[in-house]
Structures are given as C-alpha cells and as structure tokens.
Structure 1
Amino acid sequence: MSSLFRGAEFHISVAKPSGLPPATGPEIAFAGRSNAGKSSAINTLVGHTRLAFVSKTPGRTQLINYFRLVKGGFLVDLPGYGYAQVPVEVRRAWAGLIERYLKERDSLVGLVLIMDARHPLTELDWNMIEWFSGTGKPMHVLLTKADKLTRSAQAQTLATVRKALGELPGEVTVQLFSSLKKTGVDEVEKVVSPWLRSALDPTGLPEGGVA
C-alpha cells in the first residue's frame, strides 16, 4: 500500500472560522493536547522533519494549518489545546475555532486524536471527544510516546483507553504510536486511508464536486 501522508505539502494557515478555505477535498483533522506529540506524529507520518512545527514551548501552534495530500484531500493540523500559560482569551479563541471546525466542517471526514500514552483521557481530551462524537464521523486515537512505557504498561493503557471509548457512537479506534521509534505508522495508514478513499471519486475529486 502506497503512503497516504508522504509528500504532503503546506497549503494555508487559518486564524478564525471565516478564514477556512472553500472545501475542495476531504479533510482529515489532527488534534491533541499541547505537548502530547501531535506535531512530531504528523512529521513522522509525512516523512518530513519540519512540516509541522515542533516547539519546546507547548501552545505555540495557534492556527489551523492545512497540508495538501498527494492523493487528494488535506491533512488539517488543529491548534493544541489545554496549555495553561496561554492567555485566557487566546485559549477561548482556540477552543471556539476548534469546536466550530469539528462540528460544522462538512468536508471533514475523520479525526485523529493525539494523546500522550502516559497521560491519556484528560478532561480536555474528553471535551474534544464530546465535541466530535456527535458528528458520527470516525475517530482514531494515537497514544503517542509509547516508547516511554514498558510493554506491559503499553498493553494496559491500550486496553484501558479502548474500554473507556467503547461506548461512544460511531467508529472509534485506538493504537499505540511512537515518533521516536517510528512505530505505528502502517497502522495509522490502514485505518485512515479508507476515510479518504470513500470521500473521493475515481477521478480524485470530491464526490459531487469540482476542483
């Protein structure tokens, strides 16, 4: 199977809902708590060390960043959430931007939710899950930094998170992931590729639309 994410290129950055581009293809969103490893995960998936900015200071990603996928559609990097040292008004603006995007964006076909495997399912993660679960669209959870856990702890965490999310409506899948060890990439591709394929017609254009 050829890669879904490799070769992705930057398309546009958006600061507010009114700046979202016209829908010209399916969108796969990536979201996660600040410092959960979202940017590192994106860089690992696309095979590019600096496509998504990795900051030593959590909360630096303040925009929705669009990356065009070679096969059509977009990878959409949402602002990290939950960093306490960001001013309250900025955090509120981010939350409004993220919530509106997740609930109202028709071209969004699924969400990849990033959680630190050592600290999964925080209150803020549950807020994100509740925002999105009502859409009925699929969600795939990446438990990042899995290399920092023992094998037994990895298995226990994976089972715990799967059980906690098992009652949610719609398709919800969970996996372990490590940007450092480059493990879990194939599994992400296997889960997420069908989201894109089902939204594209054989010509690579959105169903019922034109480029």
Structure 2
Amino acid sequence: MPTAEINRAHLYGLNEQHLAPCSAHPQDTSEQPLYLHPDAAAAFQAMQTQAQAEGIDLRIASGFRSFARQQVIWERKYQAPTRCHMSPQERLADITQWSALPGTSRHHWGTDLDLYDHQRVARSDLVLETWEYARGGPCHALFLWLEQHAPRYGFFRPYDKDRGGVKPEPWHWSFAPVATDYLQQFDVDQLKRVLQQNPLPGLAPTADYFDAYIEAYVRQFVYQIAAPQG
C-alpha cells in the first residue's frame, strides 16, 4: 500500500512541485535540465554512470510532462487532417496507441523516462520509433543494456508488449518504487473532475467507454520487479 497520500495535482500533471531538476549528463551543461521525482532522478543518474563506464551515453529524451503539455499534443493529433474522417471514438483509439490522454500519462508522475543513446543518435534526429531500438537501429545496444541492467536500479518497461491498448515502447522506462504508489492512488473519479475543468475535443469523460479506456490504458500496467540494488 502507498506510504503517504499523493497530491491530486501530482497524479494528473497539474503541477511539478514534487519534482527535482535532472541534468541530461553531469558533464553536459548545454541542455536545459529535465524534471523527475527525486528518487527516480537519483536512480537514473546512478544507472547513467554505469552505462557511461560501459560505453553507452544514456540520455533522457522526455521526463516529466505536464497536463498542459500533454493537452497540446492531444489537441494537435486530434485535429490532424489525417484523422478528420474519423469519429471521436476512432480518433481516441488511434491517438492513444502512442499518446496518452492528458491526465493519464505516466510522464505526469516524474517517474517515467524515454531513453536513448546520445553517442549513436542526436536528440534532434531521434523519432522514438521501434526500429531505432531493434537490431540494426542506433539504440539497439542501449536497449539490450537496459534490459539487463535497468531492473537493478528499479526501472521496468510498462509498455513491453501489445496488451490491446498502448503499443510497445522500447524507449519507455518507469521507476517502479514510486510509480507503484502513483498507480495505486490513481482515481478515475478525480480524473473525470479534472477533465471536466479542462475539456478536451472529442472526449466525454462520463461516456460508457471512458472507464474501459482507463482499465485498458492505465490500470493494467502492473508489474513484478526485484528491489533495486546498489
């Protein structure tokens, strides 16, 4: 069970007061810091140090993402000309294969990271597609390294396979010790109130399909993971 009540604003990305800055790399001051939960940041930086010693320049492509930022992404994709022929529910199903509804993204918690190998692909060239992490892709060696080592630091892949909702994301890693508490305290009724105050195009959070969406795209990503080691 969670050890402490989590502020609703933190669960749904409404503010970032629970987060700490995390530099892209200790020796790189050219990039603006990202923000993560302090425990996730400490675990990531320890993992990054080991990766660097083994020839992998582990970097974060995306860390914390606010509700407002997720809303911009959602509205851009919802209004895309390629989806203008779709019904609202068809657009929802199409977009959420790769992008979460605002309020439901694990990136709101500061526990989840999109990772890449800066030595083999520049951030500006990274597109976060599965081929980049497959055999022959620039981040394949990183992917294999993370599969072996990331669990020692408390990280796992929530989107490791297709469960009928989110498509597999080999770049997305979650810090289990904190994400567990956030997932346990996720409250669909609270989320509905947030969305009623921040309406999104094409979304009716009181519709019959909404609870099914939460089960398929949020709640089913539970896991078993070994306790992180030093």
Higher strand share: 1
Q: TM-score, normalised by structure 1?
A: 0.30
Q: TM-score, normalised by structure 2?
A: 0.29
The structure with the largest alpha-carbon Rg is: 2
Higher helix share: 2
